[in-house]
Amino acid sequence: MSRVLTICRRTAGLACSLYSTALAFGLFFAAGALSFAFSLEMAEGSQTPLAVAWTSAVAPVLPVLAALLAMDAWSEERRSGRIDALLTVAVRERVFTAGKFLGIYSLTMAATLGLLVSTLAMLYFFAPATLGNQHLVSFAPGLFALALQGALWCALSLAASAMCRHAAAAALASIALTVALPRGLWFALMEWAPQGRMAFGEMPLDAHAYDLASGVVSTSTVLSYVILACFALFCSSKATASLRLAGRGARALRASTALTIALAAALALSLLALVQRVSTTFELEFLVRGDNGFSARTRNILADSRGEISITAFLSRKDARFRPLVHFLRTLAGESEAVGGARLSVRYVDPRWDIGPAERLVRAGAREDSLIFERGRRRAILPLAGGFDERMCASALLRLATRAQRGVVYWTTGHGECQYTAYEPWGMSEIARNISHCGYRNMPVDFASASSIPDDCALVIIAGAKSDLSRAETARLDAYLRKGGRLLVLLAPAETAGLASMLSAWGIKTSNTPLAGARTLTGTDAIIGDFSEHPVAAPLEGSQIVLEKPLVLRPSAAADIAGADRVEYSELARAGEACVAAAAERGAGTGDDLALRPTRIIAVGDAAFVMNGQLKIRGNANRDFFLNAVAYLAGTDAITEAGTEAGRLVTGMDRAEKVRFVVASAIVLPGALFALLAAAAAAKRRRP
Amino acid sequence: MYEVRNIAFSYSNRKVLRDVSFVVSPGEVVAIAGENGAGKTTLLRILATLEFPEAGTVVYDGQDAFEKPLRYRRQLGYLGETPALYEDMSVREYLEYRAELKGETPKRIRRRLEEASQMCQISGELKLHIRNLSLGMKKRVALADALLLRPRILLLDDFLAGLDCAMRETARAIIANVASFSSVIATGHEIADLAAVATRFLVLSGGTIAAELPAAGSDAQALAQRVEAALKGSRG
């Protein structure tokens, strides 16, 4: 072992004295940082964890570094003639191979660690928010993935170096072997069978890096890398030994060496087949768990949940969405355990391989590409066709973990309101579906025919009524509100539908005065990013909602009344100087010994902002704002945060900052590193 | 006893050595002379186990060198035609590395290094960087490396080539010194210098040993003349 370490030290020491090593390090840092910046750009706003994005970005660059570091390992010994001095020492070829491998491998891993530190430092400098809830330990699985792949690349590059007389040829051969061949084969396969892209999933090398970085460790993957690396080292050792077999007399020995390598290849293939057969997958939850950035809403739903909930991912393991989904479900289960909620057991059913369980799921009504949440005999099926996110899963959990229905949301009809059942761009079916995901039932109510509001009413929504409510209707609504009712009014432009006087009695006054100083894109809309500290608006801080020609809202005289009937008026959102969304509450804080249900009203100066068409085309927080209002009015106070941005990778860098990040991390820092290492190599050469 | 038995070697269709046999006793210095391409270097490479012979073998202490190569290499010191050293190291660093590689314990490395450097007269150059050494000095460093573990067999391939008179004188003295504990087999074209230290000359021609000339009973000059004559004869 001491000789292995001696050779390892010499290999690393020799590499450090070469300009080519300085160049390799500089190129690796530049390419790694550039790839990471690109990966950040692609993953912006997605659920991809930072550590996974980093690992996925560095993994494709690693074989090039290994090739550049290993190219001199044997070929330079041969070129200089030092090989004779090495081979006449009483040391076996495998000891030389092990020592040289360790030397190159340690340099490769040192460079990888350096790249991690430098990119994190750059992120800390340019986008500190990205690192806000990151634990360094979450990078450990990613480093493990790179260590595993790095071992294979170093072993293959060493074998190439042992077989080639010239360093450049060795580098080209190892790049061809480790980059061009696997990726070329993959792309050729995809070209040949494009319809199989979804079935095949990701490029296996990238998929392994992603899986391992996410903490999903498959024994077959790990052992496959170990077996292939050992085989490459064996070939390297045999190639070194065959340097003695130049003469004709060694023909038999050369043939026996070739036969040994062929037998070793057969053994390696058999072992690969065996480890694939007996593969086990386990998850390093303790490493990947941490502050995973779930929203307060999700955390509260998880904390409220009890018992055992089973989640089944019913999709192909080769599906591109499989890996992100695995990671998400794992962190969700970890979070539930952390907050003392239900025990979430996650399992994966591949429709093509797990025939029995798949058949059971299909009989239960589930379709391929869906998530199935089950608790006892209750089941919620979440189709994945349109993607998945935290809110959808939390809503499904909410439906299972709490009582079957949280209440009914009544939508008024008969006054030209937007229809919650209409799927057209001007309908509100999309937001109604979101409400239903939150556990509420949507029902229409016509005050003209109904004598009173039903008892199961959690909330009444008046979505852009265009004609006046009758006096009787207003009276029924007022009676409902006085009993602690909840009302969400979306006001159509320039129409107050006779609600003005009633709203005024509850503290909110509408006004047709034009908006002043509001930011706008089209001239008619208002971009609103100024939110108050109210529980409905506060979670939206940092995001924007867009309203079309919103009405201005002000507090009415009723808001000034003191005493038990006092209405507490709160602004929710402001466009310029004017308030466009407001909340009024009466009956809260009457006394600790009184459990009165307070009346709550929220008025928004626009009815179109959650129409289907708006939700589809606008990249804004309108949906969150609306659902926050619904949750505040109808649900428990604690679940008022929609927080769809939580848990997502958000750098917060604008274009100029991104350019600066790329310049600093992919040009300046690698350039400085190259200069430093080149100067160190030059200093070594200048020694007396 | 060191015995070379019926060695034959070819590169593809070209026969380089055929039926080469000789014996070397402990303390003997055997010089191998021959024209360019006579197979001197190939023979030494075979003796150093850097090449496998087509036929024949090398026996040392009754053991076949190619069957138990590690045991044989422990007793072997080899110095190739051109000294190939790690130029990024100092002389001391290089010799320490080589001693470690040869399996010497850290405690004994220092003593071995002192012995070898004194023997090769490089004690004053231990701190120097190998890149800055002359060819002669590099050869002495390489020789010190070959002598580090006091080998029982020392193979020197064209060791005296490229050295000036003074350096050759020094080299001769070193070889004579080494012969006190090691059998030396040296090749080269510097017949007079080799004759000064050799106990026997082998003249290699056409892949076989054309003449074997013991030094006994004649001085170095006479031996050199006999060797030159044998070489001319083999040419004729």
pLDDT for res A270: 94
pLDDT classification of A590: cutoffs 50, 70, 90: very low
DSSP string, A217-258: EEHHHHHHHHHHHHHHHHHHHHHHHGGG--SGGGHHHHHHHH
Strand partners, B204: B34, B209
Given a cut of 80, whether residue A45 has pLDDT beyond it is no
Q: Evaluate whether A677 touches A22 at the Cβ level (below 8 Å).
A: yes
Contacts of A468 (CB under 8 A, 6+ apart): A415, A497, A498
B51 and chain A: CB distance < 8 Å anywhere?
Answer: yes
Given a cut of 60, whether residue A639 has pLDDT beyond it is no
In tens, the pLDDT along A82-116 reads 888 888 888 888 899 999 999 999 999 999 999 99
- CB-nearest to A249 from B9, B76, B132 is B9
pLDDT for res A150: 94
Q: Which of A372-376, B94-98, B188-192 holds the top average pLDDT?
A: B94-98
Token couple for A470: 């009758």
B105 and chain A: CB distance < 8 Å anywhere?
Answer: no
- In angstroms, the separation between the Cα of residue A16 and the nearest Cα of chain B is 10
Q: Evaluate whether A375 touches A307 at the Cβ level (below 8 Å).
A: yes
In tens, the pLDDT along A285-340 reads 555 544 456 777 787 788 878 788 888 888 887 676 777 787 788 778 878 887 88
Q: How many other C-beta atoms are found inside a 10 Å radius of the C-beta of residue A340?
A: 10
pLDDT for res A1: 76
Determine whether the interchain pair A247/B78 forms a contact, defined as Cβ–Cβ distance below 8 Å.
no
Length of chain A: 688
Classify residue A368 by its DSSP letter.
Answer: S
Higher pLDDT, B210 or A558: B210
Determine whether the interchain pair A244/B52 forms a contact, defined as Cβ–Cβ distance below 8 Å.
yes
Give the H or E element holding residue A54: helix A50-58
Token couple for A661: 């990040």
In tens, the pLDDT along B15-56 reads 888 888 888 888 888 888 888 888 888 899 899 888 888 888
Determine whether the interchain pair B71/A90 forms a contact, defined as Cβ–Cβ distance below 8 Å.
yes
Given a cut of 90, whether residue A225 has pLDDT beyond it is yes
Contacts of B51 in chain A (CB under 8 A): 244, 246-247, 250
Determine whether the interchain pair A17/B88 forms a contact, defined as Cβ–Cβ distance below 8 Å.
yes
A107/A17 Cα distance (integer angstroms):
13
pLDDT for res A562: 62
pLDDT classification of B107: cutoffs 50, 70, 90: confident
Surface-to-core class of residue A271, CB atoms within 10 Å of its CB (0-12 exposed, 13-18 middle, 19+ buried): middle
Q: Is B133 helix (H, G, I), strand (E, B) or coil?
A: coil
Class of the A408-634 domain?
A: alpha beta
A253/A259 Cα distance (integer angstroms):
10
What mean pLDDT is predicted for residues A408-420? 87
Of the candidates A573, A629, A633, the one whose C-alpha atom is nearest the C-alpha of residue A605 is A573
A457/A314 Cα distance (integer angstroms):
36
For the domain covering A294-401, report its CATH number.
3.40.30.10
In tens, the pLDDT along B117-167 reads 888 888 888 888 888 888 888 888 888 888 888 888 889 888 888 777 887
What mean pLDDT is predicted for residues A408-417? 87
Mean pLDDT across chain A: 81
A323/A317 Cα distance (integer angstroms):
8
Comparing alpha-carbon positions, the chain A residue that sits nearest to B133 is A688
The domains of chain B, with CATH numbers, are 2-75+151-235 (3.40.50.300), 83-149 (no CATH)
B174/B169 Cα distance (integer angstroms):
9
A124/A134 Cα distance (integer angstroms):
11
- CB-nearest to B78 from A13, A88, A248 is A88
A298/A465 Cα distance (integer angstroms):
33
B57 and chain A: CB distance < 8 Å anywhere?
Answer: no
Task: List residues of A whose CB lies inside 8 A of any B CB.
Answer: 2-3, 6-7, 10, 13-14, 17, 80-82, 84-92, 244-250, 253, 684-685, 687-688
pLDDT for res A471: 80
CA B121 to chain centre: 18
B54 and chain A: CB distance < 8 Å anywhere?
Answer: yes
Token couple for A419: 């229809």
A515/A269 Cα distance (integer angstroms):
73
φ/ψ region of B56 (left if φ > 0, alpha if ψ in -120 to 50, else beta) reads left
pLDDT classification of A155: cutoffs 50, 70, 90: very high
pLDDT classification of A588: cutoffs 50, 70, 90: low
Of the candidates A628, A630, A662, the one whose C-alpha atom is nearest the C-alpha of residue A645 is A628
pLDDT for res A644: 42
Determine whether the interchain pair A244/B73 forms a contact, defined as Cβ–Cβ distance below 8 Å.
no
pLDDT for res A543: 78
Token couple for A140: 């450990």
What mean pLDDT is predicted for residues B174-185? 85
pLDDT for res A47: 64
Measured over the CA atoms of residue B106, residue B111, residue B116 and residue B122, the dihedral's sign is positive
3-state secondary structure A524-546: CEEEECEECCCCCCHHHCCCCEE
Q: Evaluate whether A330 touches A346 at the Cβ level (below 8 Å).
A: yes
φ/ψ region of B233 (left if φ > 0, alpha if ψ in -120 to 50, else beta) reads alpha
The strand pair at B2-11 and A508-511 is best described as: unpaired
- In angstroms, the separation between the Cα of residue A145 and the nearest Cα of chain B is 33
Domain residue spans of chain A: 2-282+655-685, 294-401, 408-634
Given a cut of 60, whether residue A421 has pLDDT beyond it is yes
pLDDT for res A78: 85
Determine whether the interchain pair A10/B97 forms a contact, defined as Cβ–Cβ distance below 8 Å.
yes
pLDDT classification of B217: cutoffs 50, 70, 90: low
Given a cut of 50, whether residue A593 has pLDDT beyond it is no
Q: Is A199 helix (H, G, I), strand (E, B) or coil?
A: helix
Comparing alpha-carbon positions, the chain B residue that sits nearest to A10 is B97
Measured over the CA atoms of residue A153, residue A159, residue A162 and residue A167, the dihedral's sign is negative
pLDDT for res A81: 83
A466/A497 Cα distance (integer angstroms):
6
Given a cut of 90, whether residue A377 has pLDDT beyond it is no
CA A174 to chain centre: 33
pLDDT for res A495: 59
